[in-house]
Amino acid sequence: MFTEVTRVVNSQGCTNQFRSRPALRLRPEQAVTLIELLVVIAINGILAGLLLGAVSHARYMAKLANCKSNLRQFDAAIKIYSNEYDDSLPPWLSNLYPDYIRHSRMYICRSDPSKGTEGGKPPWQTGAEEQQFIGLDDFAGSDAASEDAEAASLMNPDIEANSYLYEFSCALCSWWSESTDDIINPGEKLTWRKVKEYEIRTIGAHTPRISCFWHTSGFFGNRDLVLRLGAETHHVYSSDTTADGWERQGL
């Protein structure tokens, strides 16, 4: 043990004695054990995972809210268009730009990684449901012209990308396989609009006018959904990813 020598000074300033006392023992720092280090790493990993999950969910909800806002603005624009054109609906959603929809970016859903260039149906949605919407993509250069050139000629060429499906378009409805006697008069063209007006009468006022399929993934998890704008209810709702999922919303 080391000792510390202290010089004692009296009141006259003279040194009259020495005193020794034990010095403090210097302890070496304790080393961190491997187990403690692993515990710290594990806790940091858990916290980081929770943080990333919260951030991911917040981004998902923000994109969902933005898409709902777009659908509501489309609904308001269609109402104004209809009032100015004697209750007629626009042939295509793109016809609302720029007089009723000011910014073309509104046609892009933020959940759409293709920024509208893939149209209204994600490439991972295949099969009969995907085939149903062929010819409904509403933007310059889409495949709509190959299905119905006459209807495609009415599109607005200034819209070069579009994530949304306008189900009341003037395009030919080629997927309808049931009787058309209650839908159109003999010799009339069976359009998407005619079919949807029939579904309003037979299924309900929530028949979708506009749909967004970009909140789905190839895995079809619990968060996968389709956003819809009700044709006559004018409210935005969600349905599952099946073809008749929207019908069950009215039950």
Please determine, for residue 70, whether its predicted confidence score (pLDDT) is greater than 50: yes
Q: Which one has a higher pLDDT value, 56 or 24?
A: 56
The pLDDT value recorded for residue 130 is 57
Residue 28: exposure state from Cβ atoms within 10 A (0-12, 13-18, ≥19): exposed
Question: Chain-centre distance of CA 213, in angstroms?
Answer: 9
The pLDDT value recorded for residue 23 is 54
Please determine, for residue 190, whether its predicted confidence score (pLDDT) is greater than 80: yes
The pLDDT value recorded for residue 31 is 66
Domain ranges for the chain, please list them.
44-248
The set of residues, in sequence order, having a beta carbon less than 8 Å from that of 240 and lying 6+ positions away, is: 224, 225, 226
Reported pTM: 0.77
